[in-house]
Amino acid sequence: MCRSFSKLGSLVLAFVLVAALHASAQDSPKIESVISELDQPFLFSYSSWQDKAVVRDGIAIVRGVNNQGGAGINRAFDLNAFKDSSPALLIKTGSGNKMKTIQLLMLTESEQKPTWLFELPPADGKFHWVTPVGGASLAKPNRVESERNEPFKLDKFKQWQFVGDWAGGVAADFEVDKIAVVAPSSDVVAARQAEAKKMEAEQLAKQREQESLKAKYADRNELSPTVLRTSLVAPDMIAIEIQAGEMSTCEYSKYKPEPNDVREEKKETNGDLTEVQLKRGGKVIGSLIGEKRDYLVTYEYVTGNPLLDFAADDSASYRVRVGTNEPIAPIKVARKTRVIGWAHGSGEMALHHTLYLQMDNAIPNGSKVEIDLSGLNTRQSKTQLDFDITKTRSEAVHVNQIGYRPDDPIKRAFVSCWLGSGGSMVQPDKIPFMIIDDASGKVVHRGEGGRHFPADKIENMGRQANFNGTDVAKLEFTEFQTPGRYRIVVQGVGCSYPFDINDDVWTSAWRTQMHGLYNNRSGVEIGPPYSDFRKPRDMHPADGYRVTRSKYRAVEAGNEAYALLAAGDTGEPADGWGGYHD
């Protein structure tokens, strides 16, 4: 009877094993290619994963770290035959994991970074096949980071890496057995259809929001963004500079209370009072200062309308007429935006935008260029440029503003321009240039430069990267030694700011620096004949000031430093006068 039971048990066990294997085969995706069997160690790892992410016995193991890190391998591979397929991970989530998603980043030869996002499976001790969020295909990843405004090439990959989701610094604990390319299953197709509907709804909502903003800022008035300047940065690229918003200045006055004023105290975690903010009309307008909090310093604020960037980024927003030619739209538009003012309190920002319009042909010197800006919400509906390379200053032409001594061993100018959303601007191998006298415009020197440091060359600056983000061309004119005031002129582009060549340029720079230090000197009287700025002697021990040493040694700290500094007072006299004010 025992023997019969054993046979029956064996049959049942065999059936269960076959069923399990069949279920596993059913659950496994159709693998079309393998990106990595994880049969070699990580070539690099970084941040919290540094030296802790390992590959062991064909399994990548990331454990004992947080989700802020990454690790990968440099290897050339071609996935061009699988555009509609998806990457997939055979992955197991560990019991200590708190991370929700993992990223697979695959770097291209042109430094583009397509990334696929995967939700981690349950921590059940088993390996699971997972495909990207939304069923993302190889041709349409979840995200692409790129300085090149062009599609990435699936046959030009040179690296893959796992990257944490960097959300909150939580524990990461997982293992990966394989990175594969899989055919789209019915679930993936359904996910793609759902994602397409979601994107369609989001696009419709975005269009409605944009139309609302266009209506809101349609009126051109004194609050509209202002066109500051129009120039060229390349023979076929127009640059339009626009300022959106202006910063107010702080005001200091005796505090005059109003009926609905509300004071709000800001404190450190230890209870120390750091600031008393004044709220008026439901808005924080500044800080109350002084021993009795009876003076008001208002915060800065920004006035003016924003530039509608979605319109500015659309080539259909422009019509460019060069000379008597028919107006045409640019081929494409790039935008670079920087902050020129940040309002303490509200966090509002005044912005400087540069729009780069790529044209289909070079713009001849002497041309009159008219640009219709009807599609933008700028104060001006058009701008124009009378292009003269000797007078039209270009952002792309750089020269040392201190100047040069006639006998300086190196005199160089540079041509470069990072295009923001447009990434790198390619510089030619040969660039003719001139030096002209600033006053007369007379040509005093001619030369030829060219591309010197390409955008894909790594700088040795402590971190392996190219910090220019664009090509840099060099224009050498060391042999030119005649004293005077000049401009660099680049054929087809424009000119630089004026600069000097004379024996005093470096001495003048040194004097300026020393003058600034002198005006910030503590413990001495400041004034003529060394400065027009007047300030009586301050912080001098002979005037009753006493400085003592503290045990607190933090050089840079927050408001808590004041309490800790006083708490560490030793009472020991210190020779603390005669430094510089911050």
Give average pLDDT by consecutive 10-residue segment, the chain, 582 residues.
Answer: 38 35 54 96 95 96 96 96 96 96 95 95 96 95 80 92 94 97 94 94 96 96 97 98 94 93 84 85 90 91 95 97 96 96 86 97 97 97 97 98 96 97 94 98 97 88 79 97 98 98 96 93 92 90 86 64 81 82 78
CB–CB of 356/238 below 8 Å? yes
pLDDT of res. 457: 87
What is the H or E stretch that residue 214 is in?
A: helix 186-216
CB–CB of 173/95 below 8 Å? yes
Q: Cα separations (Å) of 31 from 56, 82, 314? A: 23, 11, 41
Please state, in angstroms and rounded to a whole number, the distance separating the CA atoms of residues 93 and 124: 7
Task: Show the DSSP H helices in 257-375 as ranges.
Answer: 309-312
CB–CB of 235/363 below 8 Å? yes
pLDDT of res. 275: 87
432-453 burial string, b = 16+ CB within 10 Å, else e?
A: ebbbbebeeeeeeeebebebbb
Q: Which amino acid is at 51?
A: D
In this structure, the number of other CB atoms found within 10 A of the CB of residue 144 comes to 14
CB–CB of 92/126 below 8 Å? yes
**Most distant CA pair in the chain, distance:** 118
What secondary structure letter does DSSP report for 535?
B
pLDDT of res. 149: 61
What is the H or E stretch that residue 115 is in?
A: strand 113-119
CB–CB of 175/91 below 8 Å? yes
3 state SS of 12: helix
Please state, in angstroms and rounded to a whole number, the distance separating the CA atoms of residues 525 and 537: 4
pLDDT of res. 105: 97
pTM of the model as a whole? 0.75
**Class of residue 146 by CB neighbours under 10 A (exposed 0-12, middle 13-18, buried 19+):** middle
CB–CB of 429/450 below 8 Å? yes
3 state SS of 575: coil
Please state, in angstroms and rounded to a whole number, the distance separating the CA atoms of residues 193 and 478: 63
List the beta strands (DSSP E) in 148-225: 157-164, 171-182
- If we measure between CA atoms, which residue out of 118, 100, 94, 42 comes closest to residue 73? 42
**3-state DSSP of 36-104:** ECCCCCCCEEEECCCCCCEEECCEEEEEEEECCEEEEEEEEECCHHHCCCEEEEEEEECCCCCCCEEEE
CB–CB of 431/488 below 8 Å? no
pLDDT of res. 561: 67
